[in-house]
């Protein structure tokens, strides 16, 4: 009996590899080096944080719009919106890494209870942004391979977590924006 591997089976290893490599690269960029360490003198890309925060906001809107589209039976619109949401997340990631390759991390300057709120939001955002990578990729592959029952089951977990990551990305930016060096 010849069993044809599903797209999910085919992409399982690459998804796992990407899901591990992205956080490692981001952490390396945040804590290990800057372009100037390699003799590359680039002006800090200080204009990027509001842009990538805006991209997070767009991602959140796309996610909600995509869910509304599928609930209304518009699969093609849903597919396009989800693909756009993934593209936005990739653009966000590229900009985020570019910013941190050229700029020092900004310290949150708030005091008192707001500091605890900020760090709760930031830490939950970071943890879930790592967890969401394989969830998004497996959910997407299940849709591409037309495993819609399995897609829906995983999407019920992926959607709220991804929406939380997108929205808290904007909140973190709004909370830390006053402390960016100008």
pLDDT at site 66? 98
- What is the residue whose two structure tokens read 């899901």? 19
Q: Judge whether 139 and 151 are in contact, CB under 8 Å.
A: yes
pLDDT at site 165? 98
How crowded is residue 176: how many other Cβ atoms within 10 Å of its Cβ?
A: 19
pLDDT at site 8? 83
pLDDT at site 1? 44
Structural tokens at position 169: 């990305």
Structural tokens at position 170: 């904007």
Q: Judge whether 95 and 124 are in contact, CB under 8 Å.
A: no
pLDDT at site 13? 92
pTM summary value: 0.90
- Tell me the backbone φ, ψ of residue 11, rounded to 5 degrees: -95, 0
pLDDT at site 182? 56
DSSP states of 116-146 as a string?
HHHHHHHHHHHHHHHHHHHHHHHHHHHHHTT
**Of residues 153, 170, 158, the one with CA closest to residue 63:** 158
pLDDT at site 5? 63
Residues of the chain with pLDDT under 70: 1-5, 181-182
- Tell me the backbone φ, ψ of residue 91, rounded to 5 degrees: -60, -45
pLDDT at site 28? 85
Q: Which domains does the chain have, with CATH numbers?
A: 33-179 (1.20.120.80)
């Amino acid at each position: 009996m010849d069993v044809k591997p599903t797209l999910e089976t085919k992409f399982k290893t690459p998804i796992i590899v990407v899901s591990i490599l992205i956080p490692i690269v981001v952490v390396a960029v945040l804590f290990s080096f800057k372009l100037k360490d390699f003799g590359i003198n680039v002006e800090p890309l200080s204009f990027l944080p509001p842009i990538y925060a805006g991209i997070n906001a767009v991602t959140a809107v796309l996610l909600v719009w995509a869910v509304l589209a599928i609930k209304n039976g518009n699969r093609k619109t849903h597919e396009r919106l989800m693909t756009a949401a993934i593209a936005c997340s990739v653009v966000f990631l590229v900009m985020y890494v570019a910013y941190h390759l050229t700029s020092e991390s900004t310290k949150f300057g708030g005091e008192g209870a707001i500091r605890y709120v900020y760090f709760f939001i930031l830490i939950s955002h970071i943890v879930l942004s790592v967890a969401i990578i394989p969830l998004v990729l497996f959910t997407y592959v299940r849709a591409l391979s037309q495993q819609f029952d399995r897609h829906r089951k995983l999407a019920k977990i992926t959607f709220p977590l991804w929406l939380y990551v997108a929205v808290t990305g904007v909140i973190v930016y709004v909370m830390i924006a006053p402390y960016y060096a100008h």
